[in-house]
């Protein structure tokens, strides 16, 4: 069982949950997903929003491989190179496409200097719990 909790003593979260409590199930850890297609080619060179969309698409494929979906996520960590307000707005647009009809997981956003290769702009790792 998964329960999202947003305590009234904390600010209202825009597109994520402050706390997720889980009872039972199997925990699945998903490595950081980046904007590479199945052949390992970069999708969206220099285009943050295109890369973010591919990252969440890849996250969905990783979830599917264990019989899970976005609703099973309990935590995501998002790493952004050159974090700024435009990137944050683009990230929220894309993230909201994938979490439109579900309670979003707990989430942390980190601004980083660089990812695995210089052309990557965003990466997301995750934890899901499935029955």
pLDDT in tens, 48-104: 999 999 999 999 999 999 999 999 999 999 999 998 999 999 999 999 999 999 999
Instruction: State residue 18's pLDDT score.
Output: 92
Q: Summarize the confidence of residues 29-45 as an average pLDDT.
A: 97
Is residue 110's pLDDT more than 90?
Answer: yes
User: pLDDT grade, residue 131 (50/70/90)?
Assistant: confident
Q: What are phi and psi of 88, to 5 degrees?
A: -60, -45
Architecture of domain 2-130: 2-Layer Sandwich (3.30)
Mapping DSSP onto H, E and C, the string for the chain reads: CEEEECCCCCCCCCCCECEEEECCCEEEEEEEECCECCCCCECCCCCHHHHHHHHHHHHHHHHHCCCCCHHHEEEEEEEEECCCHHHHHHHHHHHHHHCCCCCCCEEEEEEECCCCCCCCCEEEEEEEEEC
Helices 85-98 and 48-64, interaxial angle, to 10°?
Answer: 30
Instruction: State residue 14's pLDDT score.
Output: 87
Domain locations along the chain: 2-130
pTM comes to 0.93
């Amino acid at each position: 069982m998964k329960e999202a909790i947003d305590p009234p003593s904390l600010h209202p979260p825009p597109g994520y949950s402050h706390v997720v409590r889980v009872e039972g199930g199997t925990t699945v850890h998903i490595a950081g997903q980046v904007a590479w297609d199945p052949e390992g080619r970069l999708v969206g060179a220099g285009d943050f929003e295109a890369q973010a969309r591919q990252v969440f698409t890849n996250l969905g494929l990783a979830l599917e491989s264990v019989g899970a979906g976005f609703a099973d996520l309990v935590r995501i960590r998002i790493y952004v190179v050159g974090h700024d307000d435009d990137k944050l707005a683009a990230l929220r647009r894309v993230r909201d496409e994938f979490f439109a009809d579900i309670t979003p997981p707990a989430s942390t956003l980190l601004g980083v200097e660089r990812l695995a290769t210089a052309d990557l702009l965003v990466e997301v790792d995750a934890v899901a719990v499935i029955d």
